Amino acid sequence: MTGSDAMLDSVRALLMASARSDVPPFMVMDVVEAAARLEAAGRRVIHMEIGQPAAGAPMLAIAAARTALASGPIGYTQSLGLPSLRARIARHYAERHGVDVDPGRVVVTTGSSAAFLLAFLAMLEAGDRIAVANPGYPPYSNVLSALGCEAVPIEISAATRFGIAPEDLIAAHRKRPLKAVLMASPANPTGTMMTADALGALIRAAKAEGIAFISDEIYHGLDYAFTAQTALAFSNDAVVINSFSKYFCMTGWRVGWMVVPDVLVRPIERLQQNLAISVPTLSQIAAEAAFEGIAEMEAVKRGYEASRDLLAARLPRAGLNSFPPMDGAFYLYADVSHLCDDSFAFASRMLQETGVAVTPGADFDRVNGRRFIRLCYAGATADVAEAAERIGDWLRRG
Ligand SMILES: Cc1ncc(COP(=O)(O)O)c(C=O)c1O
């Protein structure tokens, strides 16, 4: 090998992506691209693939951002977030759940996505094992693996309304110790919720075994079957993660929050100082005002409920009759195994032949996901109705 070959090799080695960055892609993005191609060719596509509200942020949030923009420079904020926003979030727990939260334990984050990263970094060492529900939201496992931690999937089923059962958690812990368990309720992709009793039992079991509890409450507020309970009602040690993305329709503003035990506040503050300095200021100002827009968001929620009722009535008539109860969030997770062997091919065909874009289940469950598709009903109810009709006609045609 010549000197210049050796130099080239060492440059190539420097430019190689790390093994930790080798996380799986989000397959839904392939559906998004295929849908965009159809739209570019002039077809009308009804989007039920991406989990985002069609509605915008509360008017008062937008007005607050406009006022802030007009009133002077937008600088950094404190790393833990604007004190007034942290206090407002704490008040939200008193108002909605009757739970007393010290604003000092509230951390404002860049969406809940950044909250997960901060929580994992603050709580876990490389090599730690964290239980997650399967099926579940894929970035949990992918971010954990990038951090050198191991996501331990726990199978969930109709028998426990798709919540992690305490005995399954304990069994996994006995096999090899777990450091934490992460549960979302309402959940993505199943749209199911844990009852307060089931959630309380899981939190108590985790505590008794010395397993930390992380509660993804991003779909709180979007509960239809019964009221969603916060993990903070059961434990001050739980790490609770939430966001303005879903209930407040603020996905693109990238603002969320977490409530953490006292002992994690300073470590998370140091991490946020170094990783982000602070969360976008304009978004924090808008987020604080969003709490005054609850009436507007409740009207949006009534739209989701109408769509949910419509899908529950019409899809079974079309042969899509196996899905968990649509307790909350805005998802329907349908078993399509009686119609196809591979839900990715099924979703692609559905898109081409009906113009309705849905997500194949493999994104959420690498083992059984090929049997499922996820439909998001956060769009306009008229669009959801049209999608149900198109899917129904398509399935009846065979
Ligand atoms: C269960 C769940 N958690 C977290 C997130 C992340 O959302 P964000 O970063 O916008 O708060 C999502 C987004 O779809 C989600 O479905």
**108, 134, 188, best to mutate for ligand 1 pocket (most atoms within 8 Å of CB):** 188
Residue 112 Cβ inside 6 Å of ligand 1? The answer reads yes
Helix count and strand count (H, E) for the chain: 13, 12
Question: Cα(103)–Cα(238) distance, rounded to whole angstroms?
Answer: 15
Q: φ, ψ for residue 165 (rounded to 5)?
A: -80, 140
CA of 5 to the centre of ligand 1 (A): 46
**Residue 22: burial class (beta carbons within 10 Å; 0-12, 13-18, 19+):** exposed
Beta bridge partners of 180: 130, 212
- How many CB atoms are located within 10 Å of the residue 76 CB? 11
- How many CB atoms are located within 10 Å of the residue 233 CB? 15
Provide block-wise average pLDDT over 10 residues at a time, the chain (398 residues). Answer: 74 81 83 93 95 96 98 96 98 96 98 98 98 96 95 93 96 98 97 96 98 98 96 97 98 98 98 98 98 97 97 93 95 95 93 96 91 96 96 90
Q: φ, ψ for residue 181 (rounded to 5)?
A: -130, 140
CA of 331 to the centre of ligand 1 (A): 13
Under a CB-based contact definition with an 8 Å cutoff, are residues 260 and 119 in contact?
yes
CA of 1 to the centre of ligand 1 (A): 50
Q: φ, ψ for residue 331 (rounded to 5)?
A: -125, 145
**Residue 112 CA, closest ligand 1 atom number:** 11
| pLDDT (tens digit per residue) in 312-353 | 999 999 889 999 999 999 999 999 999 999 999 999 999 999
Beta bridge partners of 12: none
**Residue 114 CA, closest ligand 1 atom number:** 9
Residue 49 Cβ inside 6 Å of ligand 1? The answer reads no
Position 49 scores a pLDDT of 94
Helices (H), the chain: 3-15, 28-40, 59-70, 83-97, 111-123, 139-146, 166-175, 196-209, 262-275, 281-290, 294-317, 343-354, 381-397
Position 30 scores a pLDDT of 82
Under a CB-based contact definition with an 8 Å cutoff, are residues 163 and 201 in contact?
no
Helix 381-397 vs helix 294-317: crossing angle, to nearest 10: 10
Question: Cα(93)–Cα(254) distance, rounded to whole angstroms?
Answer: 21
**Residue 243 CA, closest ligand 1 atom number:** 11
CA of 113 to the centre of ligand 1 (A): 6
